[in-house]
Amino acid sequence: MESIIKKIEAEISAWSPQGGSEEVGIVRATGDGIAEVDGLSNAVMSEMVLFDPTFDRTLAEALKDPSPVYGLVLNLEEDGVRAVILGDASKIYEGMLVRRLNRLLSIPVGEPLVGRVVNPLGEPVDGKGSSGATEMRPIEREAYGVIDRAPVNVPLHTGVKAIDAMIPIGRGQRELIIGDRGTGKTSIAIDTIINQKNEPASTRPVCIYVAIGQKESKTAKLVAELEERGAMEYTIIVTAPASAPAALQFLAPFAGATIGEYFMEQGRDALVIYDDLSKQAVAYRQMSLLLRRPPGREAYPGDIFYLHSRLLERAAKLSKERGGGSLTALPIIETQEGDVSAYIPTNVISITDGQIYLEANLFNKGQRPAINVGISVSRVGSSAQTKAMKKVAGKIKLELAQFRELEAFMQFSSDLDAETKKRIDAGRRMTEVLNQGRGVPLPFHMEAAVIFAATNGYLDAFSPEEVGAVEATLQEYFSREAPDVLAAIGESKEISGQLEKTLREKLDTFVARHGSETSSART
């Protein structure tokens, strides 16, 4: 092997159109998706390199290869570099030529990507041909500073009543969705994408869904659902499946952030969902150990916090001087047995502006979404709510938290006083109102009208068991007999004066009609 390397080094020094060992190196060893490269003494961190089996062609000719294999420099060492292989590692062998590309890892961005499924390098993988995107942007960049940002005060409606009422998300916010496997984390994210169909086209955000380490069948099913619901027309899917190298799973969230930043800098709104960062952390741990970086807690490298912070800090609401665009981030973290105090969950909780915690026990009881209102929080809060939602949902969170405490206490007491029983029934009604199945996000005006009815006592005539069916009937009633009221709420974003009076009249009519029907059916 040494004689082969010496022979190649002699050939490189004889053929050095771009500066010998400063621009060209050779693979010393390769394995597990990592290449050790001799030479490249001028290489920089996060620079792209090209693995080229041919000596007698220029760099321009090498880049025309139909299936080039790139690498990403991540370790700068005394006698060379270590690079992760971004592609088919089986094509890389000892003694192979490696060329510097003199640019940081960049991907194509722009409008042509909308409606497409791409890999973390921006290459389409949906079988629909080239995307046509030509503008290239570095996959990593410094986040905007405080001066360039504006307060987060415009709501991003998810269409999920429980979230829009109690844990509002603003455009430019970072809201963590956390919970055990199979508790509905992805469902909330997908419902949020689908719900943007209910927003005016002028203010509708471009949605980017980043699938990290997911089964390809799951991603294909998701794409089919979004196409069926008409949501792919404003959505981009970035996929790094479980079969992809760890390097691509590590890069996928950064690719999603880079694509989102393009739209943000155009003065538009964008939403990026990272599903999920637990798998990115595992991929980064794998890469770091193979790169011989020292392991820390749970074998994660010491800079794992920095990995997620520099990613999530890129979410922002820009100032008017910067165009006023926004990038909202919804990272997802999977917990083990509900342990939010583990390493990666605590890291991401401390970086984000709040968390939506989904609890397995609530999920198993049939609550959808299974949100634990006690430890779920939005640190932006009512700043990201419309006046209408503030008015109707102001006390819900506190009342539900108190109801949970009473419900736990109730298990140990068979005899309840009238006041306690009344509060427990009220809590059960509200829980039923906030229950919502997957794939049926509600427009903002419908959410506001339904929650107004619940918080103003219009559903008290019905037992908690009847509320679910009554609410579905109420939605049909509003759509059929009060579309002007819904339109007015959606346009004005508040419920006051004559509009509130009209809404109360409609609700009185509904209760008079359906309350009597329910009571007669009960008897």
Q: What is the mean pLDDT of residues 149-154?
A: 95
Total Cβ atoms within 10 A of residue 383: 16
The predicted structure's pLDDT at residue 413? 59
User: 359-373, pLDDT tens digit by residue?
Assistant: 999 999 889 999 998
What was the pLDDT predicted at 398? 81
- The per-residue pLDDT for range 370-407, each reduced to its tens digit, is 999 889 999 987 888 999 999 888 888 888 888 887 87
- Token pair listed for 55: 């000596």
Query: Which range (93-107, 471-485, 503-517) has the least confidence?
Result: 503-517
Cβ distance 327 to 264 under 8 Å?
A: yes
Q: Which two tokens stand for residue 258?
A: 């880079």
Please, which pLDDT band fits residue 412 given cuts at 50, 70 and 90?
Answer: low
Would you call the peptide bond into 369 cis, given omega within 30 degrees of 0 as the criterion?
yes
Give residue 344's pLDDT. Answer: 97
Mean pLDDT of the chain: 90
pLDDT digits 0-9 by tens, 250-288: 999 999 999 999 999 999 999 999 999 999 999 999 999
**pLDDT for position 20:** 47
Span 198-226, average pLDDT: 96
Domain 389-519, CATH homologous superfamily name and number: ATP synthase alpha/beta chain, C-terminal domain (1.20.150.20)
Active site residue 522: no
Q: What is the DSSP letter of 473?
A: H
Q: What is the pLDDT of residues 16-28, one digit of tens each?
A: 444 445 689 999 9
pLDDT the model gives residue 8: 46
Cα 164 from Cα 244, distance rounded (Å):
36
Binding residue numbers for ATP: 179-186
Q: What's the whole-number mean pLDDT along residues 125-151? A: 94
- Tell me, what's the pLDDT at 54? 80
With pLDDT > 70 as the criterion, what percentage of the chain qualifies?
A: 93
Mean pLDDT of 181-197: 96
Rounded CA separation 220/222 (Å): 5
Residue 318's φ and ψ, nearest 5 degrees, are -80, 155
The DSSP output letter for 369 is S
- Reported as a pLDDT band with limits 50, 70 and 90, residue 10 is low
Side-chain half-sphere CA neighbours of 142 within 13 A: 4
Q: Which residues of 86-97 are buried (b: 16+ CB within 10 A; e: fewer)?
A: bbebeebebebb
Q: Which residue of the set 57, 103, 292, 379 is catalytic?
A: 379
pTM tops 0.85:
yes
Amino acid 58: pLDDT:
75
CA distance 431 to 208: 31
According to the model, what pLDDT value does residue 411 have?
Answer: 64
Give pLDDT, residue 18: 44
- Check residue 496 and give its pLDDT: 86
d(CA 465, CA 443): 25
In this predicted structure, the answer to whether residue 123 has a pLDDT above a threshold of 50 is yes
Nearest alpha carbon to residue 131 among 143, 148, 145, 117: 117
Whether pLDDT at 14 is above 50:
no
Which pLDDT belongs to residue 11? 47
Burial class (CB in 10 A: 0-12, 13-18, 19+), 275: buried
User: Mind giving me the DSSP string for 228-296?
Assistant: HTT-GGGEEEEEE-TTS-HHHHHHHHHHHHHHHHHHHTTT-EEEEEEETHHHHHHHHHHHHHHTTPPB-
Looking at the domain covering 140-224+239-385, what would its CATH class be? alpha beta
Q: Locate the domains of the chain by residue range.
A: 20-104, 140-224+239-385, 389-519
Where does the pLDDT of residue 444 fall: very low under 50, low under 70, confident under 90, or very high at 90 and above? very high
Q: What is the pLDDT of residue 65?
A: 77
Percent of all residues in the chain with a pLDDT value above 90, rounded to a whole number = 76
CATH number of 20-104: 2.40.30.20
C-beta of residue 49 within 8 angstroms of C-beta of residue 8: no
Nearest in space to 335 (alpha carbons), one of 307, 366, 312, 356: 356
DSSP strand pairing (326-335 vs 117-118): unpaired
Rounded Cα–Cα distance for residues 369 and 358 (Å): 7
Is there a contact between 354 and 167 (Cβ–Cβ < 8 Å)?
yes
Structure tokens at 186: 């992805």
Q: Which residues are part of a known binding site?
A: 179-186
| Nearby residues of 22 by Cβ (< 8 Å), 6 or more positions away | 39, 40, 41, 42, 100
d(CA 118, CA 237): 6
Q: What is the pLDDT of residue 6?
A: 54
